[in-house]
Structure 1
Amino acid sequence: MSQYLAPGVYVEEVPSAIKPIAGVGTSTAGFVGVVADTVTMPLLPGRSGLKDDGTPEPAHFATVAPVGEAQLVDGWETFKTLFGDIQPGNSTLAHAVYGFFNNGGGRCWITRVAPAAEGDTDTGADQLETDLIAALETFTAIDEIALVAIPGAVSDAVQSAILDHCENQYLQDRFAILDGRRTDVPVPTKGDVQGGARDSSYGAIYYPWIDVGAKDAGGSTVFQPPSGHLAGVYARVDTERGVHKAPANEVIRGALGLEKLVSKQGQAGLNPDGINVIRRFDGNITVWGARTMAGAAQAEWRYISSRRVFNFLRESIDEGTQWAVFEPNAPEVWSKIRRNVGAFLTTVWSSGALLGNTPEQAFYIRCDETVNPAAVRDAGQLVVEVGVALVRPAEFVVFRISQWAGGVQ
C-alpha cells in the first residue's frame, strides 16, 4: 500500500477487475504428409537458375523443408517454396493443402515425412506408418492448431493415433478430420469405410474420395482424399458463420466429381454410424454429413459443431483466466471470474452459438462458497462450474403436409 506523508491530492492507477476473454482461433490446421527429397523446388526470388556459363546452379533453388519439423504455411506460394509445386513426389499432400487454401483456409502447420523405402513393401509401409504417427508429436506444442489431418492415411493405426492426439488430456482443443477407406462394394458399410478405427467424439470421417482433376501418366483420374479440402471448408464456415455452424451443406471448391456416387438410400446405411457422405447435387460436390465418430454411448457429442464449440469454449476460458492462478482464493476473485466468464459467454450467446432467448437461459456460472468449500480451498483449488445450452444442427428437416378443406382452422 502506498504511503502518503505530505498533504495533497494523489492519483493512482488501479488495475481493472475486467479481464476480457478473447475467443481462440478454430481453423488453423495441422497436416502431416509425404514429400520426397527429390521433389523439384522453385527458383529463389531474383535468381536465374543458371551459372554464368549457362549450366544449372543448385544454389539458386529453394531447399525442401527438413523431415520431422513443423513448418508454418500461410498460403499456397509458401507451400511451394517449402515443399515444391504439385508433382509425383508430394502429390497427395500438395493437393490436400491446395484444397485447404482454395476452400477458405488461412494458416496451417505442415510436418513432412520421407516416403517409404523401396524394396520390402511391408517393412516400408510399416516404417511409413511409424513416421506419420511420430510426426504428430511435432504439433503438441503448437497451441493454435485446431484441426488435424494426415491426407490419405486410412490405416487403423494412423487414424487411431490422430484421434489419440486430439483427445490428449493436455490438449483436447483440436479435432481430427479423417479420410474414409476406398471401396468398390455396391453398398458400403461402416466397416468398409472406417475399418477398425475406434469411435471418438474428437474426429469426423468423410467418404468417398474426390476428383480434383489430377491424372496419372496414362490419363486416368487419380482420386484424392477429401480431408484437406474439408479442413478448408471448416475454416470457411468458421469465418463466415462461426464454429457453432456445422460444416455441412457446403460445396467443396475445386472438386469436380466423386470416386463413388452415394444415393440417399445408400447414405441411410452410413449416416447413423457417423460416416459423413460427400454427394453430388446439381453438379456441385457437397458435404452432406455433420456427425462425429462418437458411438451410441456419447450421443451428446453426435455433432461436429457440438464438440468444436466445447473445444472453443474450453480453450478460450483456459487461456483467458490464467491470471487467476495463485490469486487469493476468496470471494473477490470469485466475483471477477464470474464477471469475466459471463461477459465472454454473453458474446458467444449473441453470436448464435448458445440456445436461449436471454443469456440466463443460455448459460450459468457458479463460483462461490457452494463449489469452493473449505476443503476445496485447503487443497489449493478454485472451482468454477459452467453450464451451456448448445445449438445443434437441424439434421432432419421435416414438413408435415396434409389436405385441408379450407375455411377457418
Structure 2
Amino acid sequence: MSQWRWSGGGTLASLCSTLNQDQPGRDGSMASVLLAPRRYVQGDGAVHQIGTHAARLGRRALLIGGGRALAACETAVADSLGAVGLSLHVERFAGECCDREIERLAAVGRQEQADLVIAAGGGKVIDTGKAVALALALPIVVVPTIAATDAPCSTVVVVYAENGIFDRYVQVPHNPDCVLVDTGVIARAPVRTLVAGMGDALSTFWEADTCARSGRTNPLTGSQAPLRTALALARLCYDTLLEYGVQAKRAAETGGVTPALDAIVEANTLLSGLGFESGGLAGAHAIHNGLTRLPACHDRLHGEKVAFGTLVQLVMEGRPDAQVREVLGFCRSVGLPVCLADLGLARASRADIRAVAEAATAPGESIHAAWFTVTPERVEAAVWAADALARGTA
C-alpha cells in the first residue's frame, strides 16, 4: 500500500471513516452532515490576494501546477506570497493523479521542508495536491484556474492508474483550508473547460435527489438523509445552470467577467462541490467511471462524460419525459455531449457498453445509491436508450 493513502481509500462505499462517520442516534438513525471548505474566496483578480490567506496557514509553500496553470498564475502567486514574507517552491504537475505522481510530489515537499501546499489548475492537479497535503499532514490552498469540475471544495480525491483508467476514491480528513477562485483567470481559460464544469455541476441536483429518495447512507458524510441545506444548494446549482449557462459561455468566449460568468463559476465550484459531497453521488458519476474503461473517450473531459452519465441516470430511473428533455436541451444549448458519438464512441460495440455497465455497477459504486436494485443489464439498456433519445431528437 502506498504510504500516502488515507485509510478511507477504495470504493466509494469504503470512504466512511471513523473521522467523518457519525454515531447512530438513540433511534438508530445517523445525524446529517454538511461538509465545506474553511474559507472560499471568489472574484476577478483574487489570486493577487493569496498571500493574505496563505499567511494564516504556513510560511514555506509548495506550489503544484500544470504548464497552463502556472502560466496563468505563478507570477501573481509568487509576488503575493513574497509581499507577506512567504517562500515558494514551484513544481510542475506531470499530468495524472496517480500514486507515482502523488508520491513524487510528496517527496519534493519533504525535501523543501514545505509547511503549506498550494494546488493550481484543474481537477486532477487539485486532487493530487489534496493527496500530497494528506501525505505531508499540511494545510492546502486550492487555486482552480479552470472551472471544469467541483473538485476544489471537496474532501474526495479521484485516483487514476497511470494510463488514465479510474482506480479508486480516497477521502482526505477535511475539506481544503482555502479555495481561492480568480474569475478573471477562469474567463481566460479554454471555454470548453467552463462548459465541462457545467456538465459536472449538472449531475449535482439529480444525484442528490436520488440519494434523498433512497435514504441510503452517503459514504462521504455517513448520513442517511441530506440536510435541507445540501438539497437547497444542489437545486440552486441546477437552477443557476439553466438561467446563466448560455450567457456565461458567451462571456467566456470573449474572455470577459460578467455576472453570468461569475454565477456559473460559483455553481461549478462552490454550489456543486457542497451539493455533491453533502447531498451524495449516484448514477452519473458511476457512468463516468465506467466510461473511463474505453480508451476512445479518454480525451473527453470529466464533466463531459458526467453530463452524458446524468442523461443515462435519468433514463435508468424512469424520470418524467419533461425532466429528461430539459436536461437534454440544456446540454445542447451549451454544447455538452448528449450521445455516444459526442464522446467519440460512435462505433462502440455491445461489448464496449457492457464493459462500461459492469464497471459502473461494481460493488461500492455510487450508482447503488438508487432506490432500486441496479444491474449491469439495466445500465446497459439505459445507455443505449439515452443515446437513441438524443439522436432521435437532434
**How does the TM-score come out when normalised to structure 2?**
0.30
Q: Please tell me whether Structure 1 or Structure 2 has the larger radius of gyration of its CA atoms.
A: 1
Specify which structure has the higher proportion of helix. Answer: 2
Q: Which has the higher contact order (CA 8 A, sep 6+)?
A: 2
**How does the TM-score come out when normalised to structure 1?**
0.29
